[in-house]
Amino acid sequence: MPYARWHCPGDVGYSCTGKGGSELLFAPEEPAVAPCAAQSEHVQSLISLFFLAIPGLLALIAAIPAGKMPITARVHAAILAAIAARNSGGDAGEGGDAGGEREVFDPVYGEPVQRPPNTAASLLHEHFSPSEWQSFPTLGSLRAFLVSRLLLWVALAAALVAGMAYSGVEAAVTFGCLLLSALFILIPWDGVRLYALSGPAASSLVPARTAPP
């Protein structure tokens, strides 16, 4: 609105130019904040909750598992040696040298590092969770599942866009955009996995109830 510094429900701050700091025409005194921009104590409490209390609580929770695997200077050096040994295909302990195809051990847990085969079939297998492989006995049923779910995501996205355009309500548009942001992740995610199942690596996969290649 021209010639207005703010336009709040039931309160309009008219001025000659509408620029910030310009003199108000009909207001008895200059307010510190525009009426509809002032945040109540309830709103400020919610902001403090989501920006201070919840992140602080999550940081404390994250400290519990982090404290159970301390990375000291000695352990960090062992980790770097293990990474170098894994990249070279050998074994390295504290002060040891890499060599051959011996196992590389995780310095934190003391267990051997499981090397993935990195074949085309194994990489395709990793596109899906173990529960998905267990739920669908054949590649055809897995493809059908992905197609149906992809169509569902697209239909939901179209319904959200149509609903936002029809309602025109600001709150509906806001929540609709939040849901669309999730769908914009799910649609390409399932689309890429469906595309991967149509590649040559899919033909080398055995029925889905088996272990990964």
Return the pLDDT at 209.
Answer: 42
Phi-psi region of 9 (alpha: psi -120 to 50; beta: other; left: phi over 0): beta
- 49, 88, 140, 146 from 153: Cα distances, Å: 33, 44, 20, 10
**pLDDT: is 204 or 185 the higher one?**
185
Q: Considering the chain, what percentage of its residues have pLDDT values greater than 70?
A: 71
Q: Does residue 56 surpass a pLDDT of 90?
A: yes
Greater confidence (16 vs 196) lies with 196
Question: What pLDDT is recorded for position 100?
Answer: 44
Q: In terms of pLDDT, which residue wins out, 88 or 3?
A: 88
Contact 13, 36 (CB under 8 A): no
68 confidence band (pLDDT: 50, 70, 90): confident
Tell me how far apart the alpha carbons of residues 102 and 179 are, in angstroms, rounded to a whole number.
49
pLDDT at 34: 65
Pick from 10-19, 98-107, 149-158 the range whose average pLDDT is largest. 149-158
Q: How far is CA 161 from the centre of its chain?
A: 22
Angle between helices 170-197 and 139-167 (to 10 degrees): 160
Say which amino acid occupies 113. V
For tokens 């996205």, name the residue. 157
The total of other beta-carbon atoms located within 10 Å of residue 26's CB is: 8
| Burial class of residue 105 (count of CB atoms within 10 Å of its CB; 0-12, 13-18, 19+) | middle
Grouping H, G, I as helix, E, B as strand and the rest as coil, residue 145 is helix
Q: How confident is the model at residue 182 (pLDDT cuts 50, 70, 90)?
A: very high
1-5, 104-108, 197-201, range with the lowest pLDDT: 1-5
Angstrom distance (rounded) from CA 30 to CA 25: 10
Query: pTM above the 0.95 mark?
Result: no
Q: Using an 8 Å Cβ cutoff, are 61 and 73 in contact?
A: no
State residue 108 phi and psi, 5-degree precision: -80, -50
Which secondary structure element, helix H or strand E, spans residue 12, and what is its range? strand 11-14
- Tens-digit pLDDT profile for residues 71-125: 888 889 988 988 888 777 654 444 444 444 567 888 888 888 777 787 888 888 8
